[in-house]
A and B are shown apart, each in its own frame.
Chain A
Amino acid sequence: MQRRNFIKALLAASALLLVPIRSLAASWNASAFQAIKLQEALAALQISNLSSSSDIQVTGPDKAENGAVVQIEVTSQIPKTESISIFVENNPTALIANFVFSEATLPSIVTRIKMAETSDVLAIIKAGNHYFSSKKRIEVLENGCG
């Protein structure tokens, strides 16, 4: 009886374990992420007709002591913002990340990035068929890209 209860408990516990949903994995744009130069990464993402906008805020430290961990925030006030892409022009590969938002999710993220050297951090947002950008210069005192 005890053994049966134990097995029951074990089965109940295993049912609670989370199993990854493999089909969820979003596609990963290899050519964009492997591009060394910013222009190549933009081309791989089919970003063109870029206009700068003061309705996007890129915030972070003016000076980063350690380039391995630089916390930044990107927020867009542009209506119908669909995605935010983050680039560091002077990194070994320029594209850092691409975030695609559903309607309920606010177009704003905080994350931590690596910076090899002093560079602009460029944020590009997509709204409809338009691309808008904003950037912030961050001075890096110690290479964080290894």
Chain B
Amino acid sequence: MGVVKMADNIRMRAQLKGEITEVKLLMTHPMETGRRKNDSGDVIPANFIQTVTAMLNGKVLLQAEWGTGISKNPYLTFRMRGAKVGDVVRIDWTDNQGKTGVGEISVTLG
């Protein structure tokens, strides 16, 4: 149930290009399905991100529910209108084991 520090688990970029801000995320997470076995034949327990919330200055931009079909070290790009340079994009995730991750980045000129 520990808090994972942002530097360890989300690499983020938010770039303003014209009127649109593009946010790119790369999270560090094993995204284990619960179907794989290790070398001794034991099932590796499911361990995957279930919910992701993106916010701009505290207002929700995007809410996602994920299953085990999102690849290891999840990648996501999305775009939004109305953001300014210096606005803060924040990402929160929760996985099926109750772990959480959080990251913040300021919007920069692309």
Q: Which of B14-53 contact A (CB under 8 A)?
A: 20, 33, 35-36, 50-53
Q: Is the CB of B80 within 8 A of A105?
A: yes
Minimal Cβ-Cβ distance residue in B for A108: B79
Tell whether B56 is near chain A: CB-to-CB under 8 Å.
Answer: yes
- Bound-complex Cα distance A109 to B65 (A): 13
Interface size on B, residues (CB 8 A): 46
**B residues within 8 A CB of A92?**
33, 35, 68
- Bound-complex Cα distance A106 to B102 (A): 22
A68 CB to closest chain B CB (Å) equals 6
**B residues within 8 A CB of A68?**
71-72
Chain B contact surface mostly: strand
- Bound-complex Cα distance A6 to B15 (A): 36
- Bound-complex Cα distance A109 to B24 (A): 10
Tell whether B85 is near chain A: CB-to-CB under 8 Å.
Answer: no
Q: Is the CB of A106 within 8 A of B20?
A: yes
Q: A25-B53, A95-B69 are in contact. Are A111 and B63 (CB under 8 A)?
A: no
Tell whether B62 is near chain A: CB-to-CB under 8 Å.
Answer: yes
**What are 28 A-B interface contacts by the 8 Å CB criterion?**
A17-B3, A18-B90, A18-B103, A24-B55, A25-B51, A25-B53, A26-B64, A26-B65, A33-B68, A68-B71, A69-B71, A69-B72, A71-B75, A92-B33, A95-B67, A96-B69, A97-B64, A97-B66, A97-B70, A101-B61, A102-B61, A105-B61, A105-B80, A106-B79, A111-B74, A112-B70, A113-B70, A114-B71
List 9 tightest A-B contacts by C-beta distance, closest first. Answer: A96-B69, A110-B77, A146-B36, A20-B100, A112-B71, A33-B67, A26-B63, A26-B51, A28-B50
Residues of chain A touching chain B, judged by Cβ–Cβ distance below 8 Å, are: 17-22, 24-29, 33, 68-71, 88, 91-93, 95-102, 104-106, 108-114, 144-146
